[in-house]
Amino acid sequence: MLADRYELSSVKAALLPPDRITPFPKAEDRPSWESLLPDTRSRWIALAERYADYDWPALKVEHYRAYWKSGELDTRSRAVFERRSVLGILAIAECIEDKGRFLDQVINGIFVVCEETTWVPPLHRLHTKENLQECMPDASDHLVELVTSTTSDLLLWIRYTMQSRLDAISPRICRRIADEVRTRLLIPYMKRDDYWWMGFKEGVRVNNWNPWCNSSALMGFLLLEEDPDRRAEAVYKIMRSLDAFVGTYSPDGCCDEGPGYWGPSGGGLYVALELLAAATGGTIDVFDEPLIRDIGNYIYKAHIHGRYFVDFADGDVKPLIGGAVMYRYGKATKDLRLQNLGASLPEGEPVIHIWFELYAQLYALFQERERLESAARAPYVRDAWLPSAQVMTARQREGSEEGLFLAAKGGHNFESHNHNDVGSFMAFVDGRPLFVDLGTEEYTAQTFGPDRYSLWYLQSQYHNLPTVRGVLQRSGAEYRAKDAIYETEDANDDGVSRLSLDIADAYPAEAGIRVWRRTFTLDRAERPQIEIADRFELDNETSDLFYSLMTPCEPLPAADGTIRLEYAPGRAAVLAFDRDHLEAVVEPISTMASRLIRNWGERMYRIVLREKRPTRSGSRTIRIYREEDKEGNEADGNG
């Protein structure tokens, strides 16, 4: 895409010198910094005041070695991310206030980070296959990976915004930043073409690492590299690597890693393209490409309500995605719905123990007034179908979170950050979760190791799926859905949206499944409902067959044999099922830990609908509807 449109010579001719790349006001531009919204200024200053006497946490070698001993990452990771978040907060507050109150701590933070032996966390050695048996950090571990990239982003934009203030104390401060970014990021980037995420190795699939690392490397070369030939060569290499990412992206724009990873993948691609356009005076501009537009509009197709997104695969149902990048992406691609979603989502306060990206925070600050003044609402698109990924979303009515929402997926079990979830679904009511995809827990060595699928929350039996003979879905590209058929009545406000597919091949042969045709329907008729219909044929008769349904709502048996789920005070939904064939058992989930609790709260339940007697074939249906719509839905779904 990029390399096809632009030659190296034209890139070199178009690139602006570093001093002409000015996406944000610098600290000395007082009118711009003082024009920020008063509440925003006060919020950042108050946040920084918490850290005015901050005691920068030590990074102990024993914490680094813990990965090799137990797979534990959190202790060291929290300190690493906390250092960076606090430094970013202090830098922004100092630029806002400009009184020098936080300047010493900013300098302390710069040197604390620059003096770290390595920016590469132990887990990322696994991803890059570097020094896997060595448990001690060393400067030879400088690699281009995610923490190195985001650390460089942070330091580069501190240097950009605060250079005059820092140079007034000593030019060594900004020189140290430049030296560390060159040594740890830029030199390793140009020395090697064999990083898997670059996309230059045949047969190696890339993911969010590609635009995430490339956008940070691009920042470094644009701001630090003075030699025109080296600068153009580096930028062109980044363009070729981004081409590899776009070339392997789902043709429908779906982020198969889930919305939580759209930020660094689709959003990261946007940042790289935004920088390329800005650094060349608009000469390099591919925002008219259909796939680039679709990569952007995926995120509003996956939006449910507020902070809730369709979270198939690893990630969070309430991902920490900034609305600012969506807003800018929508403006660049002239997609008003994407722009409106971005305007409707506030940035919120930075999370101390997660990535702090200063470039993103600065853009959010200086575009906040424009976004708020637009008074935009989320688009709440009625229907979306992503045929390559086999993901559908459907809501009861366009432009509103009220009513029923259904998301379902086919696909395969070799997606990036995959869960074994072919044929699973999510159901929300009035913007509240009813039947859900749990997402993931905090990452450990096991998360990306050979025992990944022994983690319970990745298994098919803890997704909204059937289990036959105790056999679960397997991971791998061969375990997939087939014969997908999607239909929707676009012109009819009370019409139907439906996806039907055969998920038999998502299970290994020992499950004994010949056919498992699963059909997901959102019926918008007078009394709306979601229907999940299963028609199956097995090799042999069995009674060892059950359906899992995951819900954060306490399931309460009703007198009519249905199950009532209160999703908000005084508001409930109803689950009706084939009572002639199935019996329901409710299992509280007691293994929820920090990340799942952060997304769902303390409670989660699995409803198990188990076959009452041996069967070889049949049809089973569940129906979901709001309690207030119960009249006319009294049928128990026997089939």
Per-residue b or e along 26-58, where b marks 16 or more CB atoms closer than 10 Å to that residue's CB = ebeeeeebeebeeebbeebbebbeebeebebee
pTM, entire model: 0.94
> Measured in whole angstroms, how far is the alpha carbon of residue 624 from the centre of its chain?
28
Asked, for residue 262, whether it belongs to a domain, the answer is yes
Tokens of 243: 């081409």
**282 three-class SS:** coil
Angle CA 63–68–70, to nearest 5: 80
Tell me what percent of the residues of the chain surpass a pLDDT of 90: 83
Q: Is the same domain home to 516 and 474? A: yes
3 pLDDT above the threshold of 50: yes
**pLDDT for the residue numbered 86:** 96
Does residue 639 form part of some domain? no
Domain-embedded: residue 636: no
The separation between CA 499 and the C-alpha centre of its own chain, rounded to angstroms, equals 24
How far the first Cα of the chain sits from its last, in Å, is 51
Q: What is the pLDDT of residues 470-515, one digit of tens each?
A: 999 999 999 999 999 999 987 667 899 999 999 999 999 999 999 9
Mean pLDDT computed over 342-356: 80
Neighbouring C-beta atoms of residue 129, cutoff 10 Å = 10
Work out the pLDDT band at 631, boundaries 50, 70, 90: low
140 pLDDT band (50/70/90 cuts)?
Answer: confident
DSSP annotation of 17 reads: P
- Contacts with 192 (C-beta within 8 Å, 6 or more apart), sequence order: 144
The per-residue pLDDT for 637 is: 45
Calculate mean pLDDT across residues 59-81. Answer: 77
Answer yes or no: is pLDDT of 459 > 70: yes
pLDDT tens-digit series, residues 143-179: 999 999 999 999 999 999 999 999 999 999 999 999 9
CB-based contact 447:440 (threshold 8 Å) = yes
Statement to judge: residues 473 and 347 lie in one domain: no
DSSP per-residue letters across 231-271: HHHHHHHHHHHHHHHHHHS-TT---TT-GGGTTTTHHHHHH
CB-side neighbour CA atoms (13 Å) of 421: 34
- For 22, residues 6+ apart whose C-beta sits below 8 A from its C-beta are none
Q: Which pLDDT band holds residue 449 (cuts at 50, 70, 90)?
A: confident
Query: CA 266, CA 242: separation in Å to the nearest integer?
Result: 11
Q: What is the DSSP string of 285-338?
A: --TTSHHHHHHHHHHHHSEEETTEE---SSS-SS----HHHHHHHHHHHT-HHH
Residue 377 clears pLDDT 60, i.e. is over it:
yes
> What average pLDDT score do residues 354-358 get?
88
- Domain shared by 98 and 201, yes or no: yes
Q: Flag the least confident range among 111-125, 474-488, 598-612.
A: 111-125
- Residue holding tokens 């460089």? 152
Residue 368 has pLDDT above 80, yes or no: yes
pLDDT: which is higher, 181 or 443: 181
- Average pLDDT of 349-373? 89
- Residue bearing the bigger pLDDT, 68 or 371: 371
Comparing 76 with 281, the larger pLDDT belongs to 281
Identify whether residues 312 and 430 lie together within a single domain: no
My answer on whether 354 and 396 are in the same domain is no
Is residue 634 predicted with pLDDT exceeding 60? no
Number of domains in the chain: 2
CB atoms within 10 A of CB 160: 22
Q: Please list, in sequence order, all residues whose beta carbon lies within 8 angstroms of the beta carbon of residue 579, skipping any fewer than 6 positions away.
A: 561, 636, 638
Sign of CA dihedral 3, 7, 8, 11: negative
Q: Are 481 and 499 in a shared domain?
A: yes
Give domain status of residue 637, yes or no: no
Comparison of pLDDT for 126 and 173, the residue scoring more: 173
319 and 408 inside one domain: no
CA pair distance 162, 289, nearest whole angstrom: 36
Within this chain, do residues 523 and 504 fall inside the same structural domain, yes or no?
yes
Residue 371, token pair as written in the block = 């976004």
Query: Residue 635: inside a domain, yes or no?
Result: no
- Same domain? 399 vs 280: no
Residue 573 has pLDDT above 60, yes or no: yes
- Determine the 3-state secondary structure of 71 from DSSP: coil
CATH number of the domain within which 440 lies:
2.70.98.70
pLDDT digits (tens, 9 = 90+) for 262-299: 999 999 999 999 999 999 999 999 999 999 999 999 99
For range 524-546, the mean pLDDT: 96
Query: Is the model's pLDDT at 636 over the cut of 50?
Result: no
What pLDDT sits at residue 126?
58
216 and 255 share one domain:
yes
602 lies in some domain: yes
Lowest-pLDDT choice from 119-123, 320-324, 475-479: 119-123
Q: What is the pLDDT of residue 632?
A: 53
Asked, for residue 263, whether it belongs to a domain, the answer is yes
Residue 168's CATH number? 1.50.10
Domain end call among 319, 338, 373:
373
- The mean pLDDT value for 368-393 works out to 95
Work out the mean pLDDT of the chain and round it to a whole number. 93
In a domain, 155, yes or no: yes
pLDDT digits (tens, 9 = 90+) for 326-336: 999 999 999 99
Tell me how many degrees the CA angle 147-142-269 measures, rounded to the nearest 5: 45
Domain membership of residue 565 as a residue range: 383-629
Q: Are residues 268 and 397 in the same domain?
A: no
Whether residue 481 contacts residue 503, with contact meaning beta carbons closer than 8 Å, is answered with: yes
Residue 264: what pLDDT? 93
Last residue of a domain, one of 373, 401, 419: 373
Q: What is the pLDDT of residue 560?
A: 92
Using 50, 70 and 90 to split pLDDT, how confident is the model at 638? very low
Q: Are residues 396 and 471 in the same domain?
A: yes
How far is the C-alpha of 494 from the C-alpha of 478, rounded, in Å?
Answer: 38
- The pLDDT, as a whole number, for residue 447 is 86
Domain endpoint, select from 325, 342, 373: 373
Tell which wins on pLDDT, 134 or 443: 443
For residues 62-81, average pLDDT = 76
